[in-house]
Amino acid sequence: MAQLEQGQEIPQLRVTPDKYLTVRYAGASGDFNPIHIDEEFARAVGLPGRILHGLWTMAQVARAQTEAAGGPEHLKRLSVQFRGMGVPEQEVVVSATVRELTGDRALIDTVAEQAGNQIIRNAQAELQL
């Protein structure tokens, strides 16, 4: 892992969920809420269409941290606030900045955005360097 400095941005993670991601993730997670898998139902309840699972989006935040840190064993803590809805087939961008370095630990502030909307914000990861 590269040396981190306070205020440094870590590499962005950019991922575009394909149109079938929510169906596959429903099977993997066991969350078959129709807002994730049924386009007509999602629209009927006022959504723009099927929406991403929040935990999938959180996993992308974790992935950005572990890729920057050199592996999942370096991620010691992760907290997020779900603040928006993501949709398939639009790029999700995870951006992060080193807030604090203390000994062998780094606190990283993170957001996940899609089409300019923060779908996860006030996320904080603690990495062991």
- Structural domain includes residue 82: yes
Q: What is the CATH number of the domain that holds 57?
A: 3.10.129.10
- Structural domain includes residue 73: yes
Tally of domains in the chain: 1
Q: Which pLDDT value is given to residue 96?
A: 97
In whole angstroms, give the CA distance from residue 62 to residue 75.
8
Q: Mind listing the pLDDT tens digit of every residue in the chain (129 residues)?
A: 567 899 999 999 999 999 999 999 999 999 999 999 999 999 999 999 999 999 999 999 999 999 999 999 999 999 999 999 999 999 999 999 999 999 999 999 999 999 999 999 999 999 998
Q: Which pLDDT value is given to residue 25?
A: 97
pTM of the model: 0.93
The region that residue 48 occupies, defined by phi over 0 for left and psi between -120 and 50 for alpha, beta otherwise, is: alpha
Taking CA atoms, 101 is separated from 97, 107, 128, in Å, by: 11, 6, 10
Which tokens go with 58? Answer: 């959180």
Q: Which pLDDT value is given to residue 1?
A: 58
Range of the domain at 57: 9-18+52-128
- Structural domain includes residue 61: yes
Contact (CB, 8 A) for 108 and 8: no
- Structural domain includes residue 2: no
Q: In sequence order, which residues have a C-beta less than 8 Å from that of residue 96 and are 6 or more positions away?
A: 9, 10, 12, 64, 65, 68, 108, 109, 110, 111, 125
Which tokens go with 27? Answer: 């099977």
